[in-house]
């Protein structure tokens, strides 16, 4: 049985809060919930302090309120459930793909197309257990659509919409078509080395940001839409990679 997370006072960038849920802009570098090697200083620890324990219990003692996750190095919009009823309703919306999730990503290389769609099943990597991979035989269906936002020096700023919610989906899908994320050494080490040689810029992390999130509020029935400003290191990367 996992140890129960303890409240910690930490700053939170809250975009919306009511009696049923809250939406926040998670900073990159913050782990969402306690796990092996990260027992404290997580988002859950901060939420337990901020909400004074008023979080849904559906996620278990280690993940109170957590309906969905973002990678440690990915920042942006995240919705948290305060009640079990809200948690179940939001989970149902995620499962039925009624939640809109839009990301901004900086990609290694210059996308040749203005927009496109990636349909490729994703499974756990056969030999690297912490990685995912495209696997049409063993994988679960995954779909990402994207559009080009800005051409950069040896890179591309793109907007991606997740139509499914597989682990590392955006990272794996863009690697699959040959344009891994800037700063993502797990899925694009070689391309990042080439970009660094071209531009003298090395990203501090994977350049992925959960820019926009929308869903139906479980109590009011109204559509809720939120956008989170991109963090400073993401903007720094764009400045460093601007076309001269």
| Cα–Cα distance for residue pair 150/162, rounded to 1 Å | 20
Q: Determine the Cα–Cα distance for residues 185 and 12; give it in Å rounded to an integer.
A: 28
Contact 70, 9 (CB under 8 A): no
Residues, the chain: 244
User: Whole-angstrom Cα distance, residue 54 to residue 2?
Assistant: 20
Inter-CA distances, 229 with 25, 65, 92, 211, 212, Å: 8, 23, 27, 7, 9
Question: H or E stretch including 236?
Answer: helix 232-240
Nearest Cα neighbor of 60 from 4, 20, 7, 8 is 4
As annotated, the active-site residues are 71
Q: How many CB atoms lie within 10 A of CB 55?
A: 25
């Amino acid at each position: 049985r996992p140890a129960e997370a303890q409240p910690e006072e930490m700053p939170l960038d809250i975009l919306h809060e009511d009696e049923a849920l809250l939406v926040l802009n998670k900073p990159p570098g913050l782990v969402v919930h306690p796990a092996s090697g990260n027992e404290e200083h997580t988002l859950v620890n901060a939420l337990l302090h901020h909400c004074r324990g008023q979080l849904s219990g559906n996620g278990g003692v280690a993940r109170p309120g957590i309906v969905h996750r973002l990678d440690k190095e990915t920042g942006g919009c995240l919705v948290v459930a305060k009640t079990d009823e809200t948690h179940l309703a939001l989970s149902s919306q995620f499962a039925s793909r009624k939640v809109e999730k839009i990301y901004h990503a900086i990609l290694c290389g210059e996308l040749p197309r203005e927009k496109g769609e990636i349909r490729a099943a994703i499974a756990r990597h056969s030999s690297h257990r912490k990685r995912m991979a495209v696997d049409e035989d063993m994988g679960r269906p995954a779909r990402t659509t994207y559009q080009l936002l800005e051409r950069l020096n040896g890179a591309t700023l793109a907007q991606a919409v997740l139509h499914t919610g597989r682990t590392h989906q955006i990272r794996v899908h863009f690697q699959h078509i040959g344009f891994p994320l800037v700063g993502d050494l797990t899925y694009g080490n070689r391309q990042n080395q080439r970009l660094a040689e071209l531009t003298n810029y090395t990203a501090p992390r994977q350049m992925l940001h959960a820019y926009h999130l929308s869903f139906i509020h479980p109590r009011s029935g109204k559509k809720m839409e939120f956008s989170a400003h991109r963090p400073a290191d993401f903007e720094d990367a764009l400045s460093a990679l601007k076309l001269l």
